[in-house]
Structure formats: structure tokens, C-alpha cells
């Protein structure tokens, strides 16, 4: 049931809102050359070129978020996301994501949707977080052309 609720959040505006979550456990087994999780099925993994495209879009979004450049952020969003995102959502993301830190990819795969389709997804942690299970995880979901569908930071609660 949790998986269905999470999938629904991708298709609606709340995907952009931050939530405090318990038991978020991203995959941590990494390929030492790429810092990308390797314990996903090969058919569900993103190619190196896809990772570079989506990661580049994410980093541009974070740079725009850092300086509150609404126009630049809107240009990186999908049409559906643009219709739902408000200044309040951007402010919440700016509060919940530490834009002054560097990010490390911990998982790159496809996120299955309720209709049977899937979208590219990359999960990040802050590079200075050396814990086996990151304290904070940021999930970014993209359209295949690189436009951002949603960004959702998670914080581990103790």
C-alpha cells in the first residue's frame, strides 16, 4: 500500500512538498567508478548518458534554487509540474534542500507508476554524509527528455 501512495504522489502536486519520513533506506551498494547503485536490475538502470543528462538538469535546478531564480527553475520543469508549483513550494524546497552542499548519486533507476509506465529517477545524498544509511535523501524524477517532474527531500527521523 505504501508503494501505491508514493506513486500517486509523483502524479500530483504534493510530490514537490517535503515530508519527514521514517524507514527511508536507499540502496547503498555502489559501483566505485560511478557512485551509482549497482544492485538494481540492468533493465531498470539508467545509462551513463541518461544519468549525465538528468544529473545536469538537477544540478542546474539546485543552482537556480540557491539564488531563487524562478524563471530558470520553471524552464527545467515539465509542463505538468509548472502548472502545480507555486512560490511557496519553491520556498519550501529552498528550506529543505541544503543548496550549499554537494550531492552524490546513490541510486539511478526508473520509478514505476500506477499506470504501468515508469519515469527516470535519481536519488542523492549529501557528499559529506558518510553514514551507511544517509540522514537525508533527495529524490528527483524526470521526464525522458530531462524535464523535472518532481523533487522530494526526505529526512530520517530518530
For residue 158, the model assigns a pLDDT of 63
pLDDT, tens digit, 9 for 90 and up, residues 22-70:
445 554 444 444 444 444 344 578 999 999 999 999 999 999 999 999 9
| Rounded average pLDDT over 86-115 | 93
23 vs 148, residue with greater confidence: 148
For residue 120, the model assigns a pLDDT of 96
For residue 7, the model assigns a pLDDT of 36
104 vs 14, residue with greater confidence: 104
Q: Quickly count: other Cβ atoms within 10 Å of residue 158's Cβ.
A: 4
For residue 26, the model assigns a pLDDT of 52
pLDDT, tens digit, 9 for 90 and up, residues 116-140:
889 999 999 999 999 888 999 999 9
For residue 1, the model assigns a pLDDT of 38
For residue 43, the model assigns a pLDDT of 52
DSSP the chain: -HHHHHHHHHTSGGGGS-EEES-------B-TTT--B--S-GGGBPPHHHHHHHHHHHHHHHHHHHTT-HHHHHHHB-HHHHHH--HHHHHHHHHHS-TTS-EEEEEEEEEE-TTS-EEEEEEEEETT--SSS-SEEEEEEE-TTS-EEEEEEEEE--
95 vs 22, residue with greater confidence: 95
| Rounded average pLDDT over 106-122 | 93
| Rounded average pLDDT over 87-99 | 94
Q: Which residues sit opposite 119 in a β-bridge?
A: 111
Q: Is the pLDDT of residue 17 over 60?
A: no
Q: Is the pLDDT of residue 156 over 50?
A: yes
Amino acid at each position: 500500500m505504501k508503494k501505491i501512495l508514493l506513486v500517486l504522489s509523483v502524479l500530483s502536486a504534493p510530490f514537490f512538498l517535503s515530508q519527514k519520513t521514517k524507514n527511508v533506506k536507499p540502496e547503498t551498494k555502489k559501483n566505485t567508478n560511478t557512485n551509482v547503485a549497482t544492485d538494481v536490475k540492468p533493465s531498470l538502470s539508467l545509462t551513463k548518458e541518461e544519468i549525465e543528462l538528468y544529473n545536469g538538469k538537477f544540478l542546474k535546478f539546485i543552482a537556480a534554487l540557491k539564488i531563487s531564480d524562478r524563471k530558470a527553475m520553471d524552464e527545467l520543469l515539465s509542463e505538468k509540474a509548472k502548472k502545480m508549483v507555486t512560490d511557496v513550494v519553491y520556498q519550501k524546497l529552498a528550506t529543505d534542500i541544503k543548496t550549499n552542499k554537494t550531492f552524490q548519486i546513490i541510486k539511478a533507476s526508473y520509478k514505476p507508476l500506477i499506470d504501468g509506465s515508469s519515469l527516470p529517477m535519481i536519488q542523492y545524498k549529501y557528499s559529506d554524509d558518510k553514514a551507511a544509511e544517509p540522514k537525508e535523501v533527495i529524490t528527483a524524477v524526470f521526464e525522458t527528455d530531462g524535464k523535472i517532474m518532481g523533487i522530494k527531500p526526505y529526512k530520517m527521523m530518530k
